Structure 1
């Protein structure tokens, strides 16, 4: 048993930890990029703020789930390890559909709430950026999963963090790019939107997605739509405590990375659990295999917690002039919170499978969203400890 655990720890440090660190770096880069244009979005396109949390969560939910599904299909021999495999394009087109409907619903809710300034332009920005990001992220997801499988590296150990982080990285720049395009050349803006919509229709036609295949994803569609709506509540909660988080300075910059890292830990465990369950490797809830996976990943959490502190303090010092400091409240509690997320993730995945619900379609979106909620509460608590508010 000790030898088996040692092997899992080595895999966690060799495969999962590098992807988690890359995810952190991407998360901080994306957070800095958002900060640069946040005032502009708030002033000129306030409707986007209603949609933004749901959009960012949607990327990780849809494509993290797709990465887990690709991994399971590869292990079962249902998918050839090639980007030219027809099932790859078909899954990407379905992922586009699964992404477009919820963001359109979020836009409609924003309009109903009275946000009508630039409403049509915002809808086009949301739809076109979703098509563009989904296409890039879809092939990125397929590449990462297939590349890892070909190199005999477990895709479940690295795909989810990289896919979720790439989704965060692409979402904000894509939105900003369309906003800048609208303000610099309206003709180009309308032309590019038309081109992307026609591209989507073309891909839908050549992929030959049948209605029956879309129906197979009804569980995933239902849950990501519900979670997208739930993200509105999460966003309002965050808004309530935004001043407190901002007062801590470091947490203001680290917030996106903290949430994404919790989601990554949860997604890795969910993906590993789903694959193991489909392969019949887990006999019962208390099987030793999943708990050794959790323990191995847990041993990486102190490093991630320290890096969040270091990166957050560095960026806060560079941009806001804040004095660098070690946030002991964060570094000491982070591993325990990550452990809770992983145990929660395993439990959800296991019992969904027992109810004949595929964890690939439901667990990762659910865990990603719940990790955002748990992470937000966690950040608020840490901010209270730091600021004393």
Structure 2
């Protein structure tokens, strides 16, 4: 089925060397056509151009962007007079495509999506597994024993930091598929601007996460952390957020640029890789920073460092506001990001309560939550790109493909646990069955939510790249943590007590 979309990108008029006005229009065809309608509709758009001799096309439609069928070799831009361009589109319109669900369609996979996404998901599982293994180790470090709020901070910070990187990956994937990264100067400004925004967001998110973990930990424990330990908590949070944003932002930018050159859709690879590596790097930096700073607890060095970090927040915001491509991004999406902070804190409290009750829960939690969040984010990224470029795809096939490829991803993780005996977890047949059922339930909920939420945000004039991902990953973290606890509880009721830790009296 042909997709109906045409793009006029970056047509510029130049009055002088310093005066450049960019015109960009995306033509979305009306959605009021019935399925199978063969009627033709003509759309006329006139773009006023001050001087036709100064028109320059600076970028083209991405190879991943469908164009109007039947227009190969024909010019869509017709000069009607010297001051305007008329664009005429005449083609069958099919916007409301309804895909019928049949038994056969439940096993019909998108081959391109599977080939491109499955390897990146497997790689993400390795990263998430290492994150879980690292989390299981650092739980015994002095800093976590002295500052239990760091345990509450872990899922909060991982979620919020993951959101920033996945939002960046989704935004840049959309920009790439729209052709905005094809020109060197424009691409450089967009990428640098996004890196600056990422630093501003990281400093703000790190500060809020540290303070919120302090508050939630105090409410849960019945007493609040002393000031010197609170400073260690907040500095560790900001440092880890900032350092990881730079590392992951660079990695995401490189992945998206080279994905385009290798003719791979960045929507299929960038988001899961960014999320999985983000968890690993954030956890490592958080633990190392906390371990160093706890030794400097109560010194003036920590006090000065905290003041300097807070002072850098307006500086990063100022730099972001100066970039015309990203200044709006700085203000977009904060409501869902901060809302996800509150939601994810539930996962942190649940994890802190049960981490000493079951074997391997610290290893499994990041992976179970991460796989669901990565696949859901991949789906949101593809949907968002299609909505931006005005494309209608077979989303049932995409949904089914992502659902099925999550199973080998989960099972490869269980194989890693068994081979390396991670967390002393006993992975028997009953464990595999119950874990698979819980992961299937979680994945179904996340994919359904991703589909509905992306279209809801788009229909209410919010960019899904900025608004949908934080809510989705927060939901994944909370449901995944709760389902994991219930999994262990069900195994206990079924008589499998091999992963239960007897409480010390």
Fold in common (TM above 0.5): yes
Is residue 2:209 matched to residue 1:98?
no
Task: Find the residue that maps to 1:77 and give its secondary structure.
Answer: coil
Aligned pairs (5 A) from 1:144-155: 144-155=255-266
Q: Name which of 460, 463, 466 aligns with 1:355.
A: 460
**Partners of 1:128 and 1:13 in 2: CA distance:** 37
Which structure has the greater CA radius of gyration? 2
Q: Does the C-alpha gap of structure 1 residues 349 and 176 become closer, same or farther in structure 2, counting only changes over 3 Å?
A: same
Q: Name which of 204, 221, 236 aligns with 1:125.
A: 236
Q: Name which of 181, 190, 213 aligns with 1:79.
A: 181
Q: Which ranges of structure 2 fall in alignment gaps of 5 or more residues? A: 2-101, 219-223, 495-505
Q: TM-score, normalised by structure 1?
A: 0.85
Contact 1:94 1:209 in 2 (8 A): no
Contact 2:165 2:249 in 1 (8 A): yes
- In structure 2, the residue matched to 1:68 is 170
Is residue 2:135 matched to residue 1:22?
no
- In structure 1, the residue matched to 2:368 is 258
Q: Does the C-alpha gap of structure 1 residues 342 and 21 become closer, same or farther in structure 2, counting only changes over 3 Å?
A: same
Contact 1:106 1:229 in 2 (8 A): no
- In structure 2, the residue matched to 1:59 is 161
**Partners of 2:176 and 2:200 in 1: CA distance:** 23
- In structure 1, the residue matched to 2:147 is 45
**Structure 1 residue 362, shift from structure 2 partner:** 0.7
**Partners of 2:183 and 2:326 in 1: CA distance:** 21
- In structure 1, the residue matched to 2:225 is 115
**Partners of 1:314 and 1:187 in 2: CA distance:** 47
- Higher strand proportion, which one? 2
**Structure 1 residue 314, shift from structure 2 partner:** 3.2
**Structure 1 residue 370, shift from structure 2 partner:** 0.9
Q: Does the C-alpha gap of structure 1 residues 331 and 7 become closer, same or farther in structure 2, counting only changes over 3 Å?
A: closer
**Partners of 1:29 and 1:10 in 2: CA distance:** 29
Contact 1:345 1:367 in 2 (8 A): yes
Task: Find the residue that maps to 1:15 and give its secondary structure.
Answer: helix
**Structure 1 residue 204, shift from structure 2 partner:** 6.3
**Structure 1 residue 71, shift from structure 2 partner:** 1.0
**Partners of 2:332 and 2:276 in 1: CA distance:** 24
**Structure 1 residue 377, shift from structure 2 partner:** 2.4
Higher relative contact order (CA 8 A, sep 6+): 1
Is residue 2:335 matched to residue 1:222?
yes
- In structure 1, the residue matched to 2:445 is 340
Q: Does the C-alpha gap of structure 1 residues 22 and 216 become closer, same or farther in structure 2, counting only changes over 3 Å?
A: closer
- In structure 2, the residue matched to 1:285 is none
**Structure 1 residue 181, shift from structure 2 partner:** 3.3
**Structure 1 residue 7, shift from structure 2 partner:** 9.5
Aligned pairs (5 A) from 1:175-324: 175-182=286-293, 209=322, 213-244=326-357, 246=358, 249-282=359-392, 289-315=394-420, 317=421, 320=424, 322-324=425-427
**Partners of 2:107 and 2:364 in 1: CA distance:** 31
**Partners of 1:373 and 1:250 in 2: CA distance:** 18
**Structure 1 residue 111, shift from structure 2 partner:** 4.4
Q: Which ranges of structure 1 fall in alignment gaps of 5 or more residues? A: 283-287
Contact 1:90 1:208 in 2 (8 A): no
Could you list the per-position Cα deviations for residues 196-236 of structure 1 after superposition, in whole angstroms to 9, with x for gaps in the alignment? Answer: 88988877676663699545443312221221132222322
**Structure 1 residue 291, shift from structure 2 partner:** 1.2
Q: Does the C-alpha gap of structure 1 residues 42 and 206 become closer, same or farther in structure 2, counting only changes over 3 Å?
A: closer
**Structure 1 residue 105, shift from structure 2 partner:** 2.3
**Partners of 1:312 and 1:253 in 2: CA distance:** 9
Count residues in correspondence: 379
**Partners of 2:257 and 2:108 in 1: CA distance:** 23
Q: Does the C-alpha gap of structure 1 residues 195 and 150 become closer, same or farther in structure 2, counting only changes over 3 Å?
A: farther
Task: Find the residue that maps to 1:39 and give its secondary structure.
Answer: coil
CA-based RMSD of the aligned residues comes to 3.4
- Higher helix proportion, which one? 1
Q: Does the C-alpha gap of structure 1 residues 32 and 17 become closer, same or farther in structure 2, counting only changes over 3 Å?
A: same
Contact 2:438 2:484 in 1 (8 A): no
Contact 2:131 2:363 in 1 (8 A): no
**Larger deviation, residues 72-81 vs 141-150:** 72-81
Is residue 2:470 matched to residue 1:365?
yes
